[in-house]
């Protein structure tokens, strides 16, 4: 349960301005840019934080490869962001007439990103390779880049968005920024390639968009939805609503969704997990094929396969999470960082399990798939504790590490696992203050039932799409319970009817609203009609039998 409510503002007279300020947008210029984001097609290298010199070098080399029909390989990644980035780059180069093939490494056999085993396998599969373009990885692969260029004789162009490592690869060109997701970097580079090729007279074609795929990867990767990422997400969602992409349509249908209704929730919790599933417990190539195919029959078959594998992934995640939780609960050791390893864990789901542990215990969590000689770890963090830098402090014990402040992955020799665990737990014990371990719900402001109307709802809607750094607004109010009941197949959810706590002179209740509190059945016996309670809620629209009405989606309840 959420422990503390933090009210960000006591001003709600100008609600839209209050919400923008709460999201760090304090000046009129920042607010205008947020409400009216620039079209992604207008981005410059400076806008997205990419070095112009590196970009020019990359474009010149790619243009030469297209002109001379050299074999290009797009070296991707197996998560949703990486698959979308690979699809964007392959589709763009293919439609420009390039000789191009994709390569996505196997998570178990070849591991994340550029690896010597992956590069050697690529050499066997596509021996005529001349140029590699990485997407969504490569920025920490200094030794692997040297191997590809010096031992195998290939040019390497890195496009990535992950945090810089302590040693920068000496690639032919590095198209890097942390202002975009991996698919966003790939999309920007793809648009620049199109412009470069068209201007140089090597090809002529209308602009290939792929903005729908860039939005899919951006939202799935949980990057902050402000600045360039907001533009990609906002306008990319509009493209998804109108998409004719055969594979994406098949995926949407298989998931039981309607394309016009897709928002960040549907991507993050329904579509992205399906695209991620293959890379977690199988090979991700079929997910890439789905996004790239123009064959409707093949698309439907692949979409069904993703559905089936996602079901297997869900079962595996649940079983592993239950095992990891039992280990945590049985441990007598007081710690500020969870570190759990086991030889039965599948490395494809350990990141999901770490995320579940953070939700349950609100501590940084590291889960390790323990191997005989080599182990793979995945980490998730809490606000204010940079997990990738924490792990990098012990790089001398690691084979490799990469990631973000909130999520990271690493490889370690199994014989060094115990020492790594001790060092990380000691580090967390010193670095994390007790105050950081209190779960907090940020509430934008108080908004009474009597103030709710369509105009307020439309102001909130101007902030879409919601996501990291732009959460859906949360409000609080004191209400009186009119009615409570349990709903859902397993009766886990609490349905309430609530009203303003004030009554009119003729004693009639006013401003009655429905409220749904998911997974709050534990409070059913504690709330009776007439009780005064405080709600933290999102304002949502509920459609039933063709009629729309405003509804409260409850985030927390104080009795």
Last residue of a domain, one of 209, 228, 245: 209
- Per-residue model confidence as pLDDT tens digits over 52-107: 999 999 999 999 999 999 999 999 999 999 999 999 999 999 999 999 999 999 98
> What whole-number distance in Å separates Cα of residue 147 and Cα of residue 394?
24
The mean pLDDT of the chain is: 94
Residues paired with 376 in a beta bridge: 369, 411
What is the CATH number for 484? Answer: 2.40.50.460
Residues 466, 497, single domain; the answer is yes
Q: Domain count of the chain?
A: 3
What is the CATH number for 346? Answer: 3.10.310.30
Last residue of a domain, one of 408, 437, 466: 437
pTM of the model: 0.92
Contact 181, 221 (CB under 8 A): yes
Instruction: Name the packing angle between helices 182-199 and 228-242 (round to 10°).
Output: 80
Cα torsion 291, 174, 161, 149: sign: positive
Residues 403, 462, single domain; the answer is no
Residue 80's H or E segment, with its range, is: helix 80-95
- Per-residue model confidence as pLDDT tens digits over 229-251: 999 999 999 999 999 999 999 99
Residues 433, 458, single domain; the answer is no
Residues 553, 449, single domain; the answer is yes
Domain carrying residue 49: 42-209
Residues paired with 470 in a beta bridge: 467
Residues 388, 528, single domain; the answer is no
> What whole-number distance in Å separates Cα of residue 499 and Cα of residue 529?
11
Number of H-type helices and E-type strands within the chain:
19, 18
Token output for 408: 């990271």
Contact 433, 439 (CB under 8 A): no
> What whole-number distance in Å separates Cα of residue 388 and Cα of residue 365?
12
- Residue 503's φ and ψ, nearest 5 degrees, are -120, 155
Residues 196, 102, single domain; the answer is yes
Contact 309, 281 (CB under 8 A): yes
Task: Please name the residue that has the structure tokens 């949980």.
Answer: 222
Q: Measuring CA to CA, which residue among 99, 109, 100 is closest to residue 78?
A: 109
Residues 423, 453, single domain; the answer is no
Q: What is the pLDDT of residue 225?
A: 97
Residues 158, 58, single domain; the answer is yes
Cα–Cα–Cα angle for 465, 229, 89, rounded to 5 degrees: 120
- Please check the confidence at residue 218 and state whether its pLDDT lies above 50: yes
Instruction: Say which range, 11-20, 222-231, 253-262, has the weakest mean pLDDT.
Output: 11-20
Last residue of a domain, one of 155, 182, 209: 209
Residue 121 has a CB neighbour count (10 Å cut-off) of 16
In a domain, residue 30? The reply is: no
Residues 429, 504, single domain; the answer is no
- Per-residue model confidence as pLDDT tens digits over 276-313: 999 998 889 999 999 999 999 999 999 999 999 999 99
Token output for 261: 């209704």
Q: What is the pLDDT of residue 202?
A: 46
- Per-residue model confidence as pLDDT tens digits over 339-368: 999 999 999 999 999 999 999 999 999 999
Residues 356, 487, single domain; the answer is no
């Amino acid at each position: 349960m959420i422990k503390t409510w933090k009210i960000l503002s006591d001003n709600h007279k100008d609600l839209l301005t209050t919400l923008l300020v709460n999201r760090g947008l304090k000046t009129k210029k920042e607010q205008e840019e947020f409400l009216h984001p620039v079209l992604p097609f207008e981005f410059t290298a400076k806008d997205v934080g990419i070095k112009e010199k590196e970009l020019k070098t990359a474009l010149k080399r790619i243009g030469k490869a297209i002109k001379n029909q050299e074999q290009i390989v797009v070296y991707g990644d197996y998560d949703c962001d990486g698959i979308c980035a690979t699809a964007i780059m392959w589709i763009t180069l293919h439609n420009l007439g390039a000789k191009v093939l994709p390569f996505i490494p196997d998570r178990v056999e070849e591991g994340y990103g550029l690896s010597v085993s992956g590069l050697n396998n690529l050499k066997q599969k596509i021996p005529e390779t001349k140029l590699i373009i990485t997407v969504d990885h490569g920025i920490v692969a200094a030794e692997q880049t040297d191997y590809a260029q010096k031992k195998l004789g290939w040019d390497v162009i890195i496009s990535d968005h992950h945090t810089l490592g302590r040693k920068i690869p000496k690639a032919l060109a590095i198209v890097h920024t942390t202002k975009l997701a991996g698919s966003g970097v790939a999309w920007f580079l793809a648009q620049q390639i199109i412009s470069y090729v068209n201007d140089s007279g090597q090809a002529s074609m209308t602009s290939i968009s792929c903005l729908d795929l860039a939005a899919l990867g951006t939202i799935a990767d949980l990057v902050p939805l402000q600045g360039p990422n907001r533009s990609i997400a906002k306008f990319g969602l509009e493209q998804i609503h109108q998409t004719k992409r055969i594979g994406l349509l098949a995926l949407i249908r298989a998931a039981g969704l309607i394309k016009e209704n897709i928002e960040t929730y549907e991507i993050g919790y329904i579509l992205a997990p399906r695209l991620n599933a293959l890379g977690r417990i199988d090979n991700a190539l079929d997910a890439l094929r789905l996004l790239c195919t123009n064959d409707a029959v093949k698309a439907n078959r692949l979409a069904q396969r993703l559905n089936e594998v996602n079901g297997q992934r869900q079962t595996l995640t649940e079983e592993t999470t239950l095992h990891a939780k039992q280990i945590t609960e049985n441990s007598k050791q007081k710690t500020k960082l969870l570190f759990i390893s086991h030889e039965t864990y599948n490395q494809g789901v350990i990141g999901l399990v770490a995320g579940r542990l953070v939700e349950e215990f609100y501590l940084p969590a590291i889960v390790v798939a323990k191997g005989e000689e080599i182990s793979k770890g995945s980490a998730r963090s809490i606000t204010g504790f940079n997990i990738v830098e924490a792990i990098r402090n012990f790089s001398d014990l690691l084979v490799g590490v990469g990631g973000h402040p909130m999520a990271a992955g690493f490889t370690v020799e199994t014989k060094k696992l115990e020492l790594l665990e001790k060092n990380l737990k000691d580090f967390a014990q010193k670095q994390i203050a007790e105050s950081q371990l209190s779960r907090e719900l940020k509430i934008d402001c108080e908004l009474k039932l009597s103030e709710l109307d369509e105009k307020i709802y439309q102001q909130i809607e101007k902030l879409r799409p919601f996501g990291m750094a732009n959460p859906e607004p949360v409000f609080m109010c004191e209400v009186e319970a009119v009615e409570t009941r349990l709903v859902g197949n397993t009766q886990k959810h609490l349905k309430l009817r609530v009203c303003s706590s004030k009554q009119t002179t003729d004693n009639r209740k006013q401003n009655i609203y429905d409220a749904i509190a998911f997974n709050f059945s534990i409070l059913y016996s504690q709330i009776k009609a007439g009780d005064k309670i405080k709600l933290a809620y999102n304002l949502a629209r509920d459609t039933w039998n063709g009629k729309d009405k405003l509804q409260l989606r409850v985030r927390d309840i104080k009795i």
